[in-house]
Amino acid sequence: MKEIHELILAEDVRYTEDHEWARLEGDQVVVGISDFAQDQLGEIVYVELPQVGDSFDKGEEFGSVESVKAVSELYMPVAGEVVAVNEELEGAPDLVNKDPYGAGWMIRIKPEDPAQMDELLDKNAYLEHLKGMES
């Protein structure tokens, strides 16, 4: 398992306490899981994603990732409607391990209220959250 100082924590995203990240791109939000989450899970073998057009509340479960014999739930960082899902993950779920903030993105949403992004953790607050979990 990576030490906290070894983790890659992208600067251009906001984080949730459940280790999803959200990146504002124009009027849409792209969502994935953090380097900590992918490292914690180990080799990801399956990613279950919602359908385009589905809507979820902030904090609601939108999918799951399966590492070997373990299913972990995924939660919405902000409320919104799914406008795209990363179909590459169906054939290559390990993209989440290899490039969690890039090619391993999961869904793109049209947020209900973009101001909800401000309620998420920035890199430093997320880092503090990670440090707090270990004590």
Partner 1 sequence: MNTPARTKRRPGLLMDIPVLDYREALELQHSLVDARHAGRLDRDVFILLEHPPVFTLGRRGGLENLTVPEEMLRRRGIPVVPIERGGNITYHGPGQAVGYPIVHLPSAGWKVVSFVEALEEIMIRTAADFGVSARRDGRNRGVWVNGKKLGSIGIAVRHGVSFHGFALNAVVDLEPFGWVNPCGLAGVEMTSLARETGKTLDMKAVRRSVLHHTAHVLGLDLQPVNRKP
**For binding to partner 1 (CB under 8 A), which residues are involved?**
1, 18, 39-43, 46, 48, 64, 66-73, 75, 133-134
Amino acid at 127: L
Q: Least distance to partner 1 from the beta carbon of 41, Å? A: 5
Q: Which is nearer to partner 1, 18 or 81 (CB)?
A: 18
Of 75, 80, 45, 53, whose CA–CA distance to 63 is shortest?
Answer: 75
CA distances from 27 to 9, 21, 54, 61, 111 (A): 23, 16, 18, 22, 8
Record the tokens describing residue 89, joined without a space. Answer: 């993950």
Q: Which is nearer to partner 1, 124 or 135 (CB)?
A: 135
Q: State whether residue 133 is helix, strand or coil.
A: helix
Q: Which is nearer to partner 1, 5 or 69 (CB)?
A: 69
Distance of CA 130 to the CA centre of its chain: 15
Q: Least distance to partner 1 from the beta carbon of 27, Å? A: 29
Q: Which is nearer to partner 1, 29 or 37 (CB)?
A: 37
